[in-house]
Amino acid sequence: MRIILLIAVSFTYLFANAHIFVYHRFGDDRYPSTNTTLIELEKQFLYFQKNGYEVVPIEKIIEKVKNK
Q: What does the pLDDT look like over 9-41, one tens digit per residue?
A: 333 334 557 778 888 899 999 999 999 999 999
- Domains: count for the chain: 1
Give me the domain span that covers residue 17: 4-66
Q: Say how far apart CA 20 and CA 17 lie, in whole Å.
A: 10
Q: Say how far apart CA 30 and CA 27 lie, in whole Å.
A: 9
How many helices, marked H, and strands, marked E, lie in the chain? 2, 5
Q: Is the pLDDT of residue 43 over 90?
A: yes
pTM score of the predicted model: 0.60
Q: Say how far apart CA 3 and CA 58 lie, in whole Å.
A: 14
Backbone phi and psi for residue 60, each to the nearest 5 degrees, phi listed first: -70, -35
